[in-house]
Structure 1
């Protein structure tokens, strides 16, 4: 008989798969070897709470952001294509898009907005190309869909479907809905993760993560468990009556294709020769027995690891949730380093004293953009037309240096303190170590990401609101587009958890508020 507790359903499924697994086995000797070599400082540094540098107007608004982040936390199967086209992995792409959405909507990502969002909106906000040019015959070109269009369609479908459901329930956003569900007056025995998960799974199709293995129904519930874990880690101390879940230790890891890869790396998961050949050749696992077996055996392996760790003296692994963050970060570092080694825009490939026609042409284009009085129009064209190529080029030290020089000169003309502006960008860049996950690349890439998000978000909102793309000259001085809206992108960012982005103070005091 299947339990009605979703957390027990996942654990029972993992045990059943382990008992009937043929191609994936758990090596307990390797578990002990792994625990012998695990260092506490490394573990704690990679399992710490993730924070985003955003200025939320309320707890509900932050909950809304976390809800969306975990709702569309998928796409790892497109990792190769994303790195090739966007120079980002799946998780980085989702973070990037949601931060841009948050900024462009003044922090108010409502169910009404999401229920009306278009496929093109999603592609632009997440900076995912859906079409590519190809040569039909010499000199004749046409366009076709990219493999990433399917990912954009999936994100669009989940956002639209989920928001329509919650909008019909009468809630302005997902944060308000979660706030209602977790009302302490409805939880006399304290908040339970299982209660929240049950409601979410039964209401939002994207959270109902189930599959079949040898005709047996298997419960995985990856995204919904991740959401509950994120809410627990973020709010257990500040809003304990809603999110300090008493059954948090019953959650399992949130398995995707990263965790099985890390466990194989440590020798904890052993796969059959046939499956190993397919995995090592880079072939994709299609949905079915192999994929389910690998994912769910990763769940069971982590259950065993945490259980064995708790029998050891001086144990520092508290539960599966915490262990998941460590393993995932460890795996993401390994995977990202593999892609970084093949990145054709790696700094070492283009030295500052080398002649490179493409880079020089790009510098000329950027100079025209930044020097032009039509600054805002230039930025619009820069982000909407040349966005992908610019970002790749910015990763080069030479390009970044030029970009910061031009921005410094521009802001000096309109009354900004240029040194404070540069410090602002660098501080923001440091905070964006995605929010304490040091995987996005070097400081150059981080700086570019945040600058690009700010610019793209502003341009996106201009397009939505049909704001005239008028030029911005030095005579406009401090009456520029950053101060025209109190919810401009700069208002919506935080550094080191300090809300410092009141635009009037930012402009009038020459960034003196910068910490």
Structure 2
């Protein structure tokens, strides 16, 4: 059995060969995040900064979230090339724009009965690009949608809401329900003889439900603080910027050479595990400074992800690399 994400992050960080976590960097960013919290810039409301996200009064909100997070992986492209775009949006926001467009063109798109049988041609149309660069891993995305649609139809009466209700307000139980029932969310690896987990998309799905419904009603989870950061390509760059993650010269050289790492490569696992553990350390320091459990790893992750996006040109200029991996898990 794999260690849960938090324990996996700690296990990996303590044994990493290529990466170290700098305590001074953690302290400095924790101080900044406390100020961000006090200024109202660190909270679940960040979810609504994207106008493409659904609102809790949208009857299709849960269906939107499960579809988007089923497809929410691998949007990176070489920084010297123009990537996939939808209605002017890139990356994750391009996906949101494509799904919003699809709801207008095909009203049944968010219905599990529809996407359980979706074809590659249909999904290509839904995810069509403004540019010559198409959305990567289309075949894998079709398989993921079909898998999720079929499982929802066979086990949950065609309703993702039934999955959420079965969790009984537990974020961890919902994460495990998703991972156990939908293999395409089962984001695991083996590191130094130990099976570890990251569950990026399963956890971001829980986090999106929590944020979308403002921790009320079906979006309320008693243990939301148990959810960790969502180990991806971009958050580690923000942690490097702030002097929290330090890569070895060898790892930096590999990443700056545009080497594509296999999913499960020791270096890739270290980056993702150290990312999770670093954010857990940040959460502990921030909440200690605030004197109460107020900030989740989710909102710290959102802040770091947005920081990288807002400072993309500076990150590129400073040659802070991101690891390149083709994977359905993040």
TM-score strictly above 0.5: yes
Q: Secondary structure at 1:25's aligned position in 2?
A: strand
Match of 2:227 among 251, 258, 269: 251
Secondary structure (helix, strand or coil) at the match of 1:48 reads helix
* Runs of at least 5 residues in structure 2 that lack an aligned partner in the other structure: 317-330
Q: Deviations over 1:214-265 (max 9, x none)?
A: 23211101111111111112224541xx331010001101110111111111
Q: CA RMSD in A?
A: 3.2
Q: How does 1:151-170 map to 2 (within 5 A)?
A: 151-169=137-155
Higher relative contact order (CA 8 A, sep 6+): 2
2:239/2:245 contact within 8 Å kept: yes
Alignment of 1:83-482 (within 5 A): 83-84=82-83, 86=85, 88-106=89-107, 109-128=110-129, 148=134, 150-169=136-155, 171-172=157-158, 176-177=159-160, 179-183=161-165, 191-239=169-217, 242-287=218-263, 288-313=265-290, 318-335=295-312
Q: CA deviation at 1:303?
A: 0.5
Cα 1:101/1:111, change in 2 over 3 Å: same
Q: Report the secondary structure of 2:229's partner residue.
A: coil
Q: Is the CA contact (8 Å cut-off) linking 1:46 and 1:330 kept in structure 2?
A: no
Using the TM superposition, give the Cα deviation of residue 275 of structure 1 relative to its aligned residue in structure 2, in angstroms: 0.2
Tell me, yes or no, if structure 1 residue 20 matches structure 2 residue 15: yes
Contact 2:12 2:273 in 1 (8 A): yes
Hey, what does 1:75 align to over in structure 2? 74
Residue 170 (structure 1) shift: 5.8
Q: 1:316 to 1:170 in 2, by over 3 A?
A: closer
Distance 1:211 1:282, change over 3 A: same
Aligned-partner Cα distance in 1 for 2:220–2:22: 34
> 1:77-126, CA deviations, whole angstroms, 9 ceiling, x for partnerless residues?
43648834536532122112211221212365212221222212222211
Q: What is the CA–CA distance in structure 2 between the aligned matches of 1:283 and 1:325, rounded to whole Å?
A: 27
CA distance in 1, matches of 2:226, 2:30: 21
Deviates more, 1:296-305 or 1:160-169: 160-169
Q: In the alignment, which residue of structure 2 is the partner of 1:393?
A: none
Q: Secondary structure of the equivalent of 1:83?
A: coil
State how far apart, in whole Å, the 2-side matches of 1:93 and 1:212 are. Answer: 32
Return the alpha-carbon distance in structure 2 between the equivalents of residues 337 and 171 of structure 1: 48
Q: Report deviation, 1:21.
A: 0.6
Could you tell me how far 1:168 is from its partner in structure 2? 2.4
How far, CA to CA, are the matches of 2:182 and 2:127 in structure 1? 22
Map Cα deviations across residues 321-342 of structure 1 (whole Å, 9 max, x no partner): 1111111111122237778xxx
Q: TM (normalized to structure 2)?
A: 0.82
On the 8 A contact 2:116/2:149 being kept in 1, the answer is: yes
- Change in Cα spacing, 1:81 to 1:160, as seen in structure 2 (3 Å) is farther
- Alignment size in residue pairs: 310
Label 1:54 to 1:267 Cα distance change in 2 as closer, same or farther (>3 A): closer
* SS in structure 2 of the partner of residue 212 of structure 1: strand
Please list every run of 5 or more consecutive structure 1 residues that lacks an aligned counterpart in the other structure.
133-145, 340-515
Q: What is aligned with 1:422?
A: none
Distance in 1, matches of 2:179 and 2:22, equals 33
Q: Quote the Cα distance in structure 2 between the aligned partners of 1:95 and 1:80.
A: 21
d(CA) in 2 for partners of 1:111, 1:229: 21
Number of the residue aligned with 1:349: none
2:327 match: none
Quote the Cα distance in structure 2 between the aligned partners of 1:117 and 1:244: 32
Contact 1:260/1:269 (CA < 8 Å) preserved in 2?
yes
Cα pair distance change 1:211/1:78, threshold 3 Å: farther
Check conservation: 1:96, 1:126, Cα contact below 8 A: no
* Cα gap change, 1:157 to 1:82, in 2 (>3 Å): farther
Q: TM-score, with normalisation over the residues of structure 1?
A: 0.54
Matching residue of 1:486: none
Match of 2:321 in 1: none
